[in-house]
Each structure stands twice: as C-alpha cells, then as structure tokens.
Amino acid sequence: MQVLRDIVYQLLPRPRPSGAPMEDGERVARRLLILSRHPNPSFSYYLDERAKTLGDIPVITKGLDDPLDAIDSDGLFVIICRYIKQPQLRWLEEKRGTLAGVAYFVDDDIPAVVTGNEASWPYKLRLIKLAVRPLPRVNRLLTHVWTSTETLASALSMRSHRIDILPPLPADAADVAINGKDDGAAPTRMVYHATGVHRREHEFLMPIVKAAMEKHGNLHFEVFAAGPLARRWARQGIDPARTTIIAPLSWPAYLAKTTHHHADIALAPLLSGKTNASRSDTKRIDISRLQAAAIFSQCQTFERCAIAGELHIGNTANEWLAAIDLLVGDRARRLSARDATRHSIERMRRHATPTFPGIRFEPLSGAG
C-alpha cells in the first residue's frame, strides 16, 4: 500500500511558474489581490502582516466564492493562497494579459496529505477539488511560487523552476498584554490544539495525558477533536470532570478563544513523516497567543526559532511525562518557558522579510 501511495504522490501535479520572467527578475505591480479561503490561518500567518506594509497600494482580499468582475486587472498582482475555484480561475485566464503577475502560495505538502493515511476523506476530497485539480491550469498563469519552508520547496520543486520561501510573519508579540494571573492556586490548564490531520500526534499523547492526569489532581486538560478521535479521547478513562473535548473551531472563533482564554501548558508534538517534515513553526504563534508554556518535539521545525528556556524533547512517553511533571510542579519554570516562546515570536519576525519576493509595488499615478 505504501508503494502505491508513493507512486501517486509522485504523479500528483506540483505548482510551477510558467509565466515569462522579467528581465530584471522583478515585476512591478500597482495593486494586490489575495484569493483565499478567507479567513484562515495561512492568510493570517503569512500574508496579512506583509499586506499591511504596502501603504498606499490597494489591497483586495476575496473569498473563494466572491466575484471578481468589478476589479480592475490592469497592473494587478494576484496571490492564490492554497485554493481556487473555477469562476475565479476563468477570470484570471481572461485577464491574464493585463495582470502584473500571479503567485501561488502553499504552506503544506498537499500531495503528501492527499496520499497519507491521517487526513479524513472529506478533507482529502476538498484538497483535490480546490488545490490539486485546478493546478495544471493555475500553472499556466503563474509567475511566482512561494512556500513556507525550504523543505517544502524541495518537496514540490520540479526541474529548474524557482520556488521562493515566504516564512511566517506574525504580528508583533509586544502588542499582546501578558496575563499575570498564574499564581499557582487555580487549576493548571494544559491544552492540545490540533486538527484531525495530526491523528498520530493525538494517539501519541493519549496515554501520556492519561498518566499525567492521574498523577496531578490539579491538572485540567483541553483537546480539540471530533468524530473518531473525540470518541477515542473520551474512552481513555481520564477524569471527565477535568477534561474538555472541543470540536475544532472556525479560524475566527479559534482566534477569539485563544486570545481571551489562556492556558498554562501547551503540548506541541510533531512526529517524523513526510507531511510533518515540510511544516513551519506557526504553532509557536498560537502558543504565544495562549500565553502558555510549550513542550515542543525536538525537530528541525521547532529548532528554527528556538530560544533558551523553551522545552524541546524527544518523542518518547518518558520524556513527555517528565516535561509535564516539570511544568506542573515548577511555576517559575513554567513562566520562563512561556516568556521564551514569546521571545521566539520576535525572532520569527526578525527572520522574515516583510516583502513579497520578486515584486516591486509602485503607487498608482497621482496617488498621494
């Protein structure tokens, strides 16, 4: 079965720019259009802050079902964020001659997700419909391809087509007020926030969390899970009075929840595998917003912006239990780890340029 998965993985289309490059390697644009399944984390992590730096340049954001007919395509640069539907694709094809360029941005190894055994079939079918099937037509329009990591660029690269890296650019962590209510008297709140795509990580954590909860009577646990995963968590025999299982939220609801409901400990396991190898470290942003002390898997993804004081451990049950014990029992260590991840967001901002690769934006004539 794995051999068949590998064959299909190689056969699925990859993004590749077919548009003629500019002689100086840079395109001039006068306005920006972002097509996105809006709102979503990819837009928030990678595009939103960069778009805010463009000053007087008009920035238009459209959801996948929004019509584009009223948009002036002259000098327009278009960013396709992961997905596109047929009506918008047809509009781009019709306006191709007037566009300044088209970029495709992706932050997941979508062929690996489609051919892997973790994601649900409804999610895979959505990827096929919105990201895989349109790609041959999208490729004929593309002048740029951007990915979130070097590893993902390597996985998706084909021949000599250039792929630029667009690392995450979070909002300034200094703008977030620190919650100082960790006085050790209230229950210690531990969370694992991940979608069903991380099925293996859920399964890895189940016995670890059960053991930690049995050991620490003051520990409360919250996990995002639905369907079979939620049922499996419920069958772990963990005290239901201290456990909350929440169905995954929409992106706006998740932002609101994690902004106003903080945690003490956030679990961030990442097991080895083709899909995970291409991921970026955006989980840091969520954990910083939660104002939690993180436990990270020791891996290349989380090493990128690591800060002294964080906990990075191997993927063994003993190491994870020991890390949870440490943070539950040592408030000072917990606060130190929390502050370290907050500082890692500052490092993430320093590592990311606020520009879009290969584009020079110039105001419309007479602007200002």
Mean pLDDT value across residues 342-356:
94
The amino acid present at 326, given as its one-letter code, is L
Q: What is the pLDDT of residue 368?
A: 41
Question: Is residue 181 pLDDT above 80, yes or no?
Answer: no
**Interatomic CA distance for residues 21 and 111, integer angstroms:** 26
Tell me the torsion sign for CA atoms 68, 360, 108, 267. negative
Question: What is the band of 159 on the pLDDT scale with cuts at 50, 70, 90?
Answer: low
Question: Is residue 20 pLDDT above 70, yes or no?
Answer: no
For the entire predicted model, the pTM comes to 0.92
Question: Is residue 88 pLDDT above 70, yes or no?
Answer: yes
Q: What is the pLDDT of residue 38?
A: 83
DSSP state of 231: H
**Interatomic CA distance for residues 59 and 322, integer angstroms:** 48
Q: What is the pLDDT of residue 215?
A: 97
What CATH number does domain 173-350 carry, 3.40.50.720, 3.40.50.880, 3.40.50.2000, 3.90.320.10? Answer: 3.40.50.2000
Mean pLDDT value across residues 203-222:
97
Segments making up each domain of the chain, as ranges: 2-169+352-361, 173-350
The tens digit of pLDDT for each residue in 162-176 reads 899 999 999 886 655
Percent of the chain at pLDDT exceeding 70: 93
Mean pLDDT value across residues 257-276:
95
Mean pLDDT value across residues 125-154:
96
Least confident of 61-75, 147-161, 331-345: 147-161
Q: What is the pLDDT of residue 19?
A: 63
Mean pLDDT value across residues 9-17:
91
**Interatomic CA distance for residues 324 and 39, integer angstroms:** 33
Question: Is residue 354 pLDDT above 60, yes or no?
Answer: yes
Q: What is the pLDDT of residue 2?
A: 84
How far CA 329 is from CA of 241, 268, 298, in Å, comes to 21, 19, 22
Q: Which residues in the chain belong to E strands, given as ranges?
A: 27-29, 31-36, 59-62, 76-81, 101-106, 144-147, 164-165, 188-192, 219-224, 243-246, 265-268, 293-297, 311-313, 359-361
Question: What is the band of 232 on the pLDDT scale with cuts at 50, 70, 90?
Answer: very high
Question: Is residue 182 pLDDT above 60, yes or no?
Answer: no
Question: Is residue 367 pLDDT above 70, yes or no?
Answer: no
Q: Describe the crossing of helices 331-351 and 317-329 by its angle, rounded to 10 degrees.
A: 110
